[in-house]
């Protein structure tokens, strides 16, 4: 992780030189949790800043760690981390500015290929197994990542059980019995992967954008090590991705399996 700055001015000077300063800010809309803006420096450089209250620092720090984890695979585009900081007024995350270019030919095939490459890449902390070396966040909700040796127990203990517990007041006796059965027979529905894969963790359509190179990039991760099918399942939310993406991913899986 990079150093943590005590102010935006300190970050700008450290990253771009003592003579640099912020000339203009332009608010960017679209996020539900954090505020965002484009920062134009006095030399014309543009940065993207995501910011929130000082209390939200851990949320932004977790995002920074997730982006670093994805970048370390060297497989798929992700917003480049520039700086992270907190002062008494706010916490902030500085990223490269993604203007978004014209999509390349075969855009969805390429995105599927690069996502599959990320899923197949060796993880940075293999000793963790399934989970992550720290808890993080999905949205503003804490995401428990306690390491497990096996995928199915991790998914039961750290994903399904916390969700059922949070919604416990909405379940009647019949639903509770069904939940108990599901949690105790999860191996009937899920398969153990061969190895843990790095997951984006929150890969709905809004967390995928067109990068400066015209290819699909990842933003706003909630990373952990798990089964790639989780990322694919998340893409089905809120409209999903086009069929060409799923078809391309299936072809890559078939090729990997030698089929």
Which domains, from first to last, does the chain contain?
Answer: 4-96 (3.30.200.20), 107-256 (3.90.1200.10)
How would residue 259 be classed by pLDDT, with cut points 50, 70 and 90?
A: very low
d(CA 168, CA 98): 41
Report the pLDDT averaged over residues 223-232: 97
Q: pLDDT tens, 44-77?
A: 999 999 999 999 999 999 999 999 999 999 999 9
Considering only residues 3 and 148, tell me which one the structure prediction assigns the higher pLDDT.
Answer: 148
Is 202 labeled as catalytic in the residue annotation? yes
Q: pLDDT tens, 83-138?
A: 999 999 999 999 999 987 799 999 999 999 999 999 999 999 999 999 999 999 99
Measure the CA angle with vertex 63, ends 60 and 65; round to 5°: 115
The pTM assigned to this predicted structure is 0.92
| Residue of 202, 213, 220, 231 marked catalytic | 202
Mean pLDDT of the chain: 93
Report the pLDDT averaged over residues 139-143: 91
How would residue 165 be classed by pLDDT, with cut points 50, 70 and 90?
A: very high
């Amino acid at each position: 992780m990079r150093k943590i700055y005590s102010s935006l001015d300190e970050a700008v000077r450290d990253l771009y030189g003592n003579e640099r300063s912020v000339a203009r800010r332009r608010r960017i809309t679209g996020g539900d949790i954090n505020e965002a803006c484009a920062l134009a420096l006095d030399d014309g450089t543009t940065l993207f800043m995501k910011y929130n209250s000082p209390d939200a620092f851990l949320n932004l720090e977790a995002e920074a760690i997730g982006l670093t984890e994805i970048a370390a695979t060297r497989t798929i585009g992700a917003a480049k981390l520039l700086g992270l900081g907190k002062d008494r007024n706010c916490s902030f995350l500085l990223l490269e500015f993604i203007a978004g270019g014209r999509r390349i030919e075969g855009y969805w095939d390429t995105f599927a290929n690069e996502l599959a490459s990320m899923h197949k890449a060796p993880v940075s902390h293999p000793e963790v197994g399934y989970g992550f070396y720290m808890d993080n966040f999905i949205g503003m909700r804490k995401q428990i990542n306690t390491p497990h040796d096996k995928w199915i127990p991790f998914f039961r203990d750290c994903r399904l059980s916390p969700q059922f517990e949070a919604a416990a007041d909405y379940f009647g006796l019949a639903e509770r019995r069904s939940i108990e059965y599901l949690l105790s027979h999860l191996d009937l529905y899920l398969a153990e992967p061969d190895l843990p894969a790095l997951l984006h963790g929150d890969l709905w359509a809004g967390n995928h954008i067109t990068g400066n190179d015209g290819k699909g990039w990842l933003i706003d991760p909630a990373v952990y090590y798990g089964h790639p099918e989780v990322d694919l399942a998340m893409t089905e939310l809120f409209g999903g991705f086009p069929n060409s993406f799923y078809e391309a991913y299936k072809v890559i899986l078939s090729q990997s399996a030698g089929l």
